[in-house]
Amino acid sequence: MKELRDLTRKLLADGDAGVVIGWEEGRRGARPAFITTPDDADKLIFDARCVHNLANYLNPRKPQVKALGKPAVVVKGCDAKAVAGLLREAQLTRDRVILIGVRCGGVVQTPEMPAELTEATVATRCYGCDVREPKLVDHLVGDARPEPPVTAALDRRIAELDALSPRERWQFWTSQLAKCTRCHACRQACPLCHCERCITDKTQPQWIESSSHLRGNFAWHLTRAQHLAGRCVGCGECERACPVGIPLSLINRKLQLVVKDLFDYTVTDDPEVPAPIGAYAVDDKQEFIE
Amino acid sequence: MSAATGTALFLSDENLGNLVAEIIAAGRRLVAPARDPQAAVGGSADYRYISSAAELAFGDSLPRMSLKGFFLPQSEVLFKWHRKGADVEIEAVPTEFPPQIVLGARPCDTAALEIVDQVMDWGLRDELWFGRRNATTIFNLSCPVEDASCFCHAVDLNPDATRAADGMLTPVPGGYLVESCTEKGAALVEGHKALFESGDTGAAAERSAAAAQYRAAARAKVAADLQIDTTRIKEWVGDHFDDEFWTALGPRCNGCAACASVCPTCHCFDIVDEPEGVGHGARRRNWDTCQTGVFTLHASGHNPRADQNSRFRQRVNHKFFIYPSRFGEVLCTGCGRCSRVCPEGQDLAEVLACIDELARA
Amino acid sequence: MAATDTPMKPDGFHPRITAFVCNWCTYTGADLAGTSRLQMASNVRIIRLPCTGRIDHMFIVKAFERGADGVIVSGCHPADCHYTAGNYHARRRFGVFRELMDFMGIDPQRVTFSWVSASEGAKWKDVVNETVARVAELGPFDAYHELAGDTVTGGEPAPGPFEAASGAETPDPLEELEVGR
């Protein structure tokens, strides 16, 4: 912690960064912090409750963050993958951001939970994590932490759904999407949802009805998932932001598995590796095409 | 707000089940906090239409969404149109609704309806809103107070308030003390009076004492938190539109608007025309919120609220300055849902405390 | 185009199929099928686009929203794309979208993806007939067409007045066009 705070003080005092974006203690657990003066550096914390994907604040369409100056962002390994996504998609240039990597031993599901990692509390995204020590960084802080308990709960649930008939899956998803109020919190919380104007906000033509009936909701959730296929880093922020509890991670994770199966692609923190949608191989699988 | 004043009757747990059964058998729609029967894992209760007492989840935490969806559905048809040759035929929607009963509403959710009534009858009466309001009988559940994000006492409510309610249930050992406070409420009790035990039995005094203790404990719990003066806040917010304070709040907010979805008093809506095929369609109104960029986006491309700082300021302004200036009371019932749902830890109670502090200085 | 009236089921259900095809291969192939007077089911309405690369997954969704029971997406064979790589991109996107539909409970059998070249009039006939037969077997896609009839609050039917009735009938859009004029 001291390492992180000292670095923050230095970056701000030297004028290398205008703001350091990390985590602080809020009334309901850990939350994002925007440190703009060296004196506030001691507010910063990092523990297993720091679940937020702060790469979201690097979205170029956030003028209120831009106004604070050049950002230095604290990133876990999974957050670094989202930063890589922004770099890959030309939303960010590497010299416009300072990345402070933290060695991570897994996070809990919500920032309000105690920072104790058990099979019941660990976030599903930590399953199969390959970036406990982020590589895409300018500074690396913190000690190596032990591997978190493993939970394959998400993959188990997907296997259960896969085993159902299409009709049963349809019933499951209609019951889930029926709750959607179309607040688009899932989109706002997503570090990779960076379009200047989201397709669901467009009205000429209106591809996606803004009404929260199931017809509009299916169009939205199919599109959100499709547009994130091969791009989603699996941080689960969409699901955490959803005020009505739609299990969006199931869809995202399913598409991660599909993309792995079809194109042998796993999302990476290397911005030089192209995303699978937008690229192609001449010998891609095409059994589904008559 | 004062507590219910009608004569207290006792409804045993068993008879609550019978009451639910009788209401449903009579063909009336019943809304109550209940778990999602299809949810894979528990989750918290929501207000839902229920079909049996087994679904009731009075003991659960505060329902995730407020009650407003039963009066202002997240998407509702205003009228339908059909093209007939060169003409357009408009098919109106009925503004009379079948009676529905809400059991176990939280006082903050019920009171919100009466606060929003004012804007819904401001110059133009919203018949769909009032059609549902008039068709609904609401019995509150005296609230045990959820957690430190609750602040109903700070906005002139209480965990046992009966504002806009037709009656209230207060948990006591073995059941509930039931008070009705309107004719509608009394009529509901009268219609099922065999289920209610009158207040003159020996156990009645004990139960009254238990109820009083329960309410006092809840009041004390919520009062322990936020100490603010909404009048002072209104003045400060009105005078400090361009204060630097707002620029400190915007960056954290990612504009997800989950706060507005779960808010019992946020009532803004968007109106859209949707074709349902060729030559016919529907005009709908859908929930909308000032927390999104497109809410104020002009056709020219100009956006008067260009960043999240100004959008969050608008949220606080509308609730604590604009609404009280226009209608004499704040547009907030202190349910704390916005703080609980915010994925980034934005905390309205904390913001209000800061403003109160600034206003005091 | 030559057409036969093909009641595909005893109850006379005629599935409505929307086909999104590329201008250079499949549209020309379908044209060839017509000029060759090949007999095929008349249930398919073709929408011509420059390339399969231009075909968005939203086209499929919109077709279902507006009453289609099935969809055909067809374009040039690999290596034959008029724009070099449009079909390769489409193949990736639809490979994913097909799995997504399946996962969400939309039976992927309602959507046919095919490569039909300008010379494959006979293959187009087969694609059409097989798709129509398969979708006829699956029945009308009312589950999707009636989605807006289920507007809900808190997971249950909302008190909205039209919710139960809407979407019950899906009259032929071509007939309605006449009405519109």
In this structure, the answer to whether residues A41 and A134 fall within a common structural domain is yes
- State the smallest CA–CA distance between residue B276 and chain C in angstroms: 7
In this structure, the answer to whether residues A137 and A157 fall within a common structural domain is no
Q: Beta-carbon neighbour count of residue C53 at 10 Å?
A: 22
Cβ separation C176–B278 shorter than 8 A = yes
* Mutate: best of C103, C111, C114, partner A, most A CBs <10 A: C103
Range of the domain at A219: 153-266
pLDDT of residue C103: 97
In a domain, A16, yes or no: yes
- pLDDT tens digits, residue range A65-116? 999 999 999 999 999 999 999 999 999 999 999 999 999 999 999 999 999 9
* Residues constituting chain A: 290
* ipTM for the whole complex: 0.92
In this structure, the answer to whether residues A117 and A38 fall within a common structural domain is yes
- State the smallest CA–CA distance between residue A65 and chain B in angstroms: 5
Q: Beta-carbon neighbour count of residue A245 at 10 Å?
A: 18
The average pLDDT across A133-155 equals 90
In this structure, the answer to whether residues A116 and A7 fall within a common structural domain is yes
pLDDT of residue A84: 96
Burial grade of A14 (CB within 10 A; 0-12, 13-18, 19 or more)? exposed
Backbone φ, ψ for residue B286 (5° rounding)? -125, 150
- Of A141, A176, A210, which marks where a domain is finished? A141
Q: Partners for A (CB, 8 Å, 3+ pairs)? A: B, C
* Mutate: best of B344, B346, B348, partner A, most A CBs <10 A: B344
- pLDDT tens digits, residue range A9-61? 999 999 999 999 999 999 999 999 999 999 999 999 999 999 999 999 999 88
Which chain C residue shows the shortest CA-CA distance from A158? C103
In a domain, A290, yes or no: no
In a domain, A172, yes or no: yes
In this structure, the answer to whether residues A122 and A13 fall within a common structural domain is yes
In this structure, the answer to whether residues A25 and A122 fall within a common structural domain is yes
| Residue A209 pLDDT class (50, 70, 90 cuts) | very high
Which residue, chain included where needed, has tokens 């509308």?
A: B318
| Nearby residues of B316 by Cβ (< 8 Å), 6 or more positions away | B237, B348, B351, B355
* Residues constituting chain B: 361
In this structure, the answer to whether residues A33 and A77 fall within a common structural domain is yes
Cβ separation B100–C162 shorter than 8 A = no
Question: How far out from the chain centre does Cα B234 lie?
Answer: 22
Q: What angle do CA A245, A246, A249 make, to 5 degrees?
A: 110
- pLDDT tens digits, residue range C53-68? 999 999 999 999 988 9
Query: In chain A, what percentage of residues exceed pLDDT 70?
Result: 100
In a domain, A86, yes or no: yes
d(C-alpha A10, C-alpha A35), whole Å: 12
Backbone φ, ψ for residue C9 (5° rounding)? -135, 155
Return per-residue pLDDT of chain B as tens, 361 residues. 444 445 689 999 999 999 999 999 999 999 999 987 666 555 678 899 998 888 888 888 899 899 999 999 999 999 999 988 889 999 999 999 999 999 999 999 999 999 999 999 999 999 999 999 999 999 999 999 988 999 999 999 999 999 999 999 999 999 999 999 999 999 999 999 899 988 666 778 888 899 999 999 999 999 988 889 999 999 999 999 999 999 988 999 999 999 999 999 999 999 999 888 778 889 999 999 999 999 999 989 899 999 999 999 999 999 999 999 999 999 999 999 999 999 999 999 999 999 999 999 8
In this structure, the answer to whether residues A159 and A137 fall within a common structural domain is no
Cβ separation C96–A213 shorter than 8 A = no
d(C-alpha B199, C-alpha A116), whole Å: 50
Per the structure block, which two tokens stand in for B31? 């809304």
Cβ separation B93–C162 shorter than 8 A = yes
Query: In chain A, what percentage of residues exceed pLDDT 90?
Result: 84
Are B197 and B191 spatial neighbours (Cβ–Cβ below 8 Å)? no
In a domain, A271, yes or no: no
Annotate B167-187 with DSSP letters as a single string: EEEEEETTEEEEEE-SHHHHH
In this structure, the answer to whether residues A110 and A239 fall within a common structural domain is no
Q: What angle do CA A95, A97, A102 make, to 5 degrees?
A: 125
d(C-alpha B15, C-alpha B123), whole Å: 44
Grouping H, G, I as helix, E, B as strand and the rest as coil, residue B56 is: strand
Cβ separation A56–B149 shorter than 8 A = no
In a domain, A229, yes or no: yes
- C window 36-65, beta carbon within 8 A of A: 57-58, 61-62, 65
Cβ separation B251–A64 shorter than 8 A = yes
Per the structure block, which two tokens stand in for B265? 């008093």
The average pLDDT across A246-254 equals 95
In a domain, A59, yes or no: yes
Cβ separation B274–A211 shorter than 8 A = yes
Are A181 and A246 spatial neighbours (Cβ–Cβ below 8 Å)? no
Chain A interface includes C28 (CB < 8 A): no
| Nearby residues of B14 by Cβ (< 8 Å), 6 or more positions away | B175
- State the smallest CA–CA distance between residue C4 and chain A in angstroms: 23
In a domain, A279, yes or no: no
d(C-alpha C75, C-alpha C70), whole Å: 17
- Whether C11 shows a pLDDT value over 80: the answer reads no
| Residue C162 pLDDT class (50, 70, 90 cuts) | very low
pLDDT of residue A163: 96
* Mutate: best of C59, C60, C61, C142, partner A, most A CBs <10 A: C61
Chain C interface includes B215 (CB < 8 A): no
Contacts of B280 in chain C (CB under 8 A): 176
- State the smallest CA–CA distance between residue A281 and chain B in angstroms: 37
The average pLDDT across C33-49 equals 94
Angle between helices C121-138 and C26-35 (to 10 degrees): 100
Candidates C120, C134, C13; CA nearest to C72 is C134
pLDDT of residue B41: 52
Contacts of B278 in chain C (CB under 8 A): 173, 176-177, 180
pLDDT of residue A282: 93
- Looking at the 3D structure of chain A, how many domains does it have? 2
In this structure, the answer to whether residues A131 and A17 fall within a common structural domain is yes
pLDDT of residue B42: 52
Q: What is the CA radius of gyration of chain C?
A: 18
Question: How far out from the chain centre does Cα A208 lie?
Answer: 24
In this structure, the answer to whether residues A96 and A192 fall within a common structural domain is no
In this structure, the answer to whether residues A163 and A200 fall within a common structural domain is yes
d(C-alpha B172, C-alpha B206), whole Å: 9
* pTM across the whole model: 0.90
Candidates B171, B172, B155; CA nearest to B163 is B155
- Whether C164 shows a pLDDT value over 70: the answer reads no
Q: Beta-carbon neighbour count of residue A231 at 10 Å?
A: 22
Element spanning A186, H or E: helix A185-189
Average pLDDT of every residue of chain A = 93
pLDDT of residue B139: 96
| Residue A168 pLDDT class (50, 70, 90 cuts) | very high
- C14-145 fold: Rossmann fold (3.40.50)
Per the structure block, which two tokens stand in for C52? 């399969």
